[in-house]
């Protein structure tokens, strides 16, 4: 009896000591610290960089025979999904983090998915307590209010999806020239192809073909993204090889498949032969027709290709009647299945590079030969992690911009939604869920020049 009581007492003492140690190790960061520092401490103590980093800090037991394989698999999967280092560096330096990084951290906090139990059971101080979680969720809310400054209030102030602005700053004189150049076939070698050939304004900024046709009917190897709302993309092209809209505008004229001009000197010679156009251009650009000025004018025009005032924008701004119950359920599913951790911001995308086939093997199951374009960002960086990684496309006006994916392999929005669930979120969506998410996506069609955007190719 005495031994039993002693054992119980010892167990109680150990339990109390363990609980006390657990509480001390998991105290939230001090309240007097700046918000960024508090979040940084939580992420560092949570061991996030142990997996979500190119240079993970591994625990001492990582070289143990049994543990090594498990740990390296976690590191591989974690880094494939999310590189947390840009966020950590932004927090250390006081810079604004990327919206997509905030969305990813916020989502795992909401779902209480990280750190995994097998980690925090060994690393006691890494547990995400309610207090720590609240710190991060409040930080995410404050971040969005500061970063976007778009006037959202109440419950919608913290939404990862934001409304499109009515306008952005442009030079109207340059916009007028840019409009003309956007539609000018003289940018191509045989005067048959313009920007608008593949990105027509009356077909939602796309041509609705799997691969666009350039000079002599040549076909490119990647689906043409829409030019509407491209100003929101952090880089241009699927592989991100152009940093700005002006850089992007310089690409197709010299691409041998698209416009096939041999140089901008060739293009400029044709434009300068048009005395009226030359004079109009020099009124706006005193140094005349140059590659930099031509692409700048096109960029100025493309900055105006905004489609605000969609039904969902109206909902975000407080109009509950703007969308239906089905569409709202679709949005909640969109967030539940992590879609809004990549498709964030005003354009619902265009903020990061992400791996195509994160949860299942997209390319192995696609039934199409691999192409150079399938390499995605790898084409530019030659870094293995970037293979099959693409700039996330924006989802504005998505019902009008079929076919879908970088390879144009999905003909309908329903197909695209279903397979995104499988390959990116790792879920088999039900037919009801597909219908609801699709209904939500159709609320993202906005207005251009005061009228709802349409597509003349839509029957």
Whether residue 290 is found in the same domain as residue 423: no
224 domain-assigned: yes
pLDDT higher than 90, residue 71: no
Mean model confidence pLDDT for the chain: 92
Domain boundary among 149, 181, 207: 149
The reply to whether 125 and 178 lie within a common domain is no
**Residue 424: inside a domain:** yes
Q: What is the pLDDT of residues 41-56, one digit of tens each?
A: 999 988 888 889 888 8
- Place 13 in a pLDDT band, splitting at 50, 70 and 90: low
> Residue 87: which domain range?
27-149
Higher local confidence (pLDDT), 205 or 367: 205
The answer to whether residues 375 and 418 touch, using CB atoms and an 8 Å cutoff, is: no
Of 61-75, 156-170, 344-358, give the lowest mean pLDDT range.
61-75
Give residue 120's pLDDT: 57
What's the confidence (pLDDT) of residue 25? 57
Q: What pLDDT, on the 0 to 100 scale, is given for residue 328?
A: 99
Alpha carbons 198 and 212: distance in angstroms, whole number: 6
Identify the pLDDT of residue 386. Answer: 98
Q: State which of 95, 116, 149 marks the end of a domain.
A: 149
Residue 38 lies in a domain: yes
Residue 1 lies in a domain: no
Determine the Cα–Cα distance for residues 344 and 234; give it in Å rounded to an integer: 12
Helix, strand, or coil (residue 314): helix
What percentage of residues in the chain have a pLDDT greater than 90? Answer: 80
Cα–Cα separations (whole angstroms), residue 388 to 95, 391, 424, 443 = 29, 10, 13, 29
124 and 222 share one domain: no
Average pLDDT over every residue of 352-380: 97
Helices (H), ranges, 343-396: 362-365, 378-381
Rounded to a whole number of angstroms, the CA Rg of the chain reads: 26
Q: Is the predicted pLDDT of residue 1 greater than 60, yes or no?
A: no
pLDDT band at residue 12 using 50, 70 and 90 as cut-offs: low
pLDDT of 74 higher than 70: yes
Q: Verify that 428 and 363 share a domain, yes or no.
A: yes
Q: Is residue 267 located within the same domain as residue 316?
A: no
81 and 191 fall within a common domain: no
pLDDT digit string, tens, across residues 239-293: 999 999 999 999 999 999 999 999 999 999 999 999 999 999 999 999 999 999 9
Task: State the average pLDDT over residues 85-111.
Answer: 95
The arithmetic mean of pLDDT across residues 104-118, rounded, is 85
Q: How confident is the model at residue 117 (pLDDT cuts 50, 70, 90)?
A: low
Lowest mean pLDDT among 60-64, 231-235, 279-283, 286-290: 60-64
Instruction: Write down the pLDDT at residue 18.
Output: 46
pLDDT value of position 275: 98
296 plus 243 within the same structural domain: yes
**Structure confidence at residue 46 (pLDDT):** 83
**Range scoring the smallest mean pLDDT among 9-18, 118-127, 354-363, 369-378:** 9-18
Instruction: Judge whether 4 lies within some domain.
Output: no
Total domains present in the chain: 3
> Is residue 223 predicted with pLDDT exceeding 70?
yes
- Exactly one of 106, 159, 258, 399 is catalytic; name it: 258
Percent above pLDDT 70 for the chain: 91
How far is 31 from 134, CA to CA, in rounded Å?
12
Nearest to 432 by CA among 440, 210, 424: 440
Q: Are 97 and 143 in contact (CB under 8 A)?
A: yes
- Does residue 210 carry a pLDDT above 50? yes
Q: Is residue 159 part of a domain?
A: no
Six token digits for residue 325 = 């119950």
120 and 253 together in one domain:
no
- pLDDT surpassing 60 at residue 21: no
Any idea what the CATH number is for the domain that residue 296 is in?
1.10.760.10
Rounded Cα distance between 314 and 308, Å, is 9
As beta bridge partners, residue 448 has 451
Q: Read off the pLDDT of each residue in 430-458 and give the average, rounded to a whole number.
A: 98
Number of H-type helices and E-type strands within the chain: 20, 4
**Listed residues 270, 302, 334: the one ending a domain:** 302
The verdict on whether 399 is a catalytic residue reads no
| Structural domain contains residue 32 | yes
Q: Assess whether 82 and 143 both reside in one domain.
A: yes
User: Global pTM?
Assistant: 0.92
When pLDDT is cut at 50, 70 and 90, the band that residue 125 belongs to is low
d(CA 242, CA 232) in angstroms, rounded, equals 14
| Contact between 345 and 313 (Cβ < 8 Å) | no
Confidence of residue 77 (pLDDT cuts 50, 70, 90): confident
CA pair distance 98, 42, nearest whole angstrom: 18
């Amino acid at each position: 009896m005495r031994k039993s009581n002693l054992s119980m007492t010892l167990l109680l003492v150990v339990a109390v000591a363990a609980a006390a140690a657990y509480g001390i190790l998991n105290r939230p960061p001090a309240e007097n610290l700046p918000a960024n520092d508090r979040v940084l401490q939580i992420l560092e103590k949570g061991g996030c960089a142990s997996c979500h980093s190119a240079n993970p800090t591994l625990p001492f037991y990582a070289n143990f025979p049994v543990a090594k394989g498990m740990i390296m698999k976690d590191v591989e999967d974690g880094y494939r999904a999310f590189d947390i280092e840009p966020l950590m560096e932004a927090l250390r330096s006081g810079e604004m983090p990327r919206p997509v990084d905030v969305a990813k951290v916020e989502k795992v906090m909401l779902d209480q998915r990280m750190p995994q139990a097998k980690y925090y059971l060994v690393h006691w101080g890494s547990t995400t307590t309610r207090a720590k979680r609240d710190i991060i969720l409040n930080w995410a809310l404050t971040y969005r209010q500061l970063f976007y400054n778009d006037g959202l209030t109440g419950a919608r102030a913290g939404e990862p999806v934001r409304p499109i602005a009515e306008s952005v700053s442009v030079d109207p004189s340059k916009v007028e020239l840019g409009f003309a150049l956007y539609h000018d076939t003289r940018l191509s070698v045989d005067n048959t192809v313009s920007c608008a050939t593949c990105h027509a304004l009356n077909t939602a900024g796309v041509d609705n073909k799997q691969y666009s046709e350039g000079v002599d009917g040549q076909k490119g190897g990647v689906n043409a993204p829409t030019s509407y709302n491209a100003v929101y993309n952090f880089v241009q092209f699927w592989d991100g090889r152009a940093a700005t809209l002006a850089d992007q505008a310089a690409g197709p004229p010299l691409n041998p498949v698209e416009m096939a001009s041999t140089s901008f000197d060739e293009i400029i010679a044709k434009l300068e032969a048009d005395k009226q156009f030359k004079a109009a251009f020099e009124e706006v650009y005193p140094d005349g027709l140059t590659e930099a000025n031509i692409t700048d004018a096109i960029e100025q025009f493309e900055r105006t290709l905004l489609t605000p005032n969609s039904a969902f924008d109206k909902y975000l701004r407080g109009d509950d009647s703007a969308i239906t119950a089905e569409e709202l359920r679709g949005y909640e599913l969109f967030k539940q299945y992590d879609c809004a951790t990549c498709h964030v911001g005003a354009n619902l995308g265009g903020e990061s590079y992400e791996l195509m086939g994160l949860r299942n093997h997209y390319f192995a199951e696609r039934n199409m030969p691999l192409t150079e374009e399938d390499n995605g960002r790898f084409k530019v960086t030659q870094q293995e992690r970037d293979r099959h990684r693409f700039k996330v496309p924006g989802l504005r006006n998505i019902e009008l911009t079929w076919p879908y994916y970088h390879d144009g392999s999905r003909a309908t929005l329903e197909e695209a939604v279903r397979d995104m669930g499988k390959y990116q979120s790792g879920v088999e969506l039900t037919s009801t869920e597909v219908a609801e998410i699709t209904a939500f996506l159709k609320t993202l069609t906005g207005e251009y020049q005061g009228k709802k955007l349409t597509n003349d190719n839509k029957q």
